[in-house]
Amino acid sequence: MIFRMLTAFGKRALPVISNEHNMIHGGKYFTAQVANAALGAAASLLIEMIVPANVEAHLKRFSYYNGDDGEFEFIEAPTITTGASVLTAYNRNRESIKASGIVLKSNPTGISGGTLLENMFFKGTNQTPSILIDRDVEWVLKQGTTYLLRLTNDGAAAEQALLKASWYEIAE
């Protein structure tokens, strides 16, 4: 890692960066998303996160957008009976060759049970959509556990929608 000296008030100082920033530089910070240009009324976008037993994962942020009213849920250990398409996790350090150890899938089905960790409702219209750009919360996820992020369009019509997760991980 390269350290750059900064000059402040004529003195040399080391820059201070956040843990997340450090994880990005170390190639350990990842992001994935699902989107739908016309998510139907009462329909959902979902991200399934399967955390292996050898990965310590820290879910740092979730972001979502829906053109109308909606609901966001974060669920631990749900039962999922039908597989889904694998999502690509992008390393936020584009020079890094490290891959995420977490398996991500989009829009699984046959979901039941689990522990609801977060549940947020929001209001919006086509003129003033509901947007959460970043939510600076950190969840240290259980190893060997599946999680589900779900965004539901509670509006009366199809809307543009986006669901995004960002996390860093430490492989053991």
Predicted pLDDT at 160: 87
Q: How far is 69 from 130, CA to CA, in rounded Å?
A: 7
Q: What's the CATH code of the domain at 164?
A: 2.60.120.680
Q: Is residue 3 part of a domain?
A: no
For the chain, report the end-to-end CA distance as a whole number of angstroms: 21
Residue 105 above 60 pLDDT? Answer: yes
Q: How far is 153 from 26, CA to CA, in rounded Å?
A: 36
Express each pLDDT in 39-85 by its tens digit.
999 999 999 999 999 999 999 878 888 778 889 999 999 999 887 89
Q: Is residue 16 part of a domain?
A: no
Q: How many domains are contained in the chain?
A: 1
Predicted pLDDT at 172: 63
Q: Is residue 1 part of a domain?
A: no
Question: Do 38 and 146 touch, CB atoms closer than 8 A?
Answer: no
Query: Nearest to residue 56, comparing CAs of 144, 138, 135, 115?
Result: 144
Residue 153: is it exposed, middle or buried by C-beta count within 10 angstroms (0-12/13-18/19+)? Answer: buried
Q: Which domain holds residue 53?
A: 30-171
Express each pLDDT in 108-161 by its tens digit.
999 999 999 999 888 776 655 555 555 567 899 999 999 999 999 998 899 888
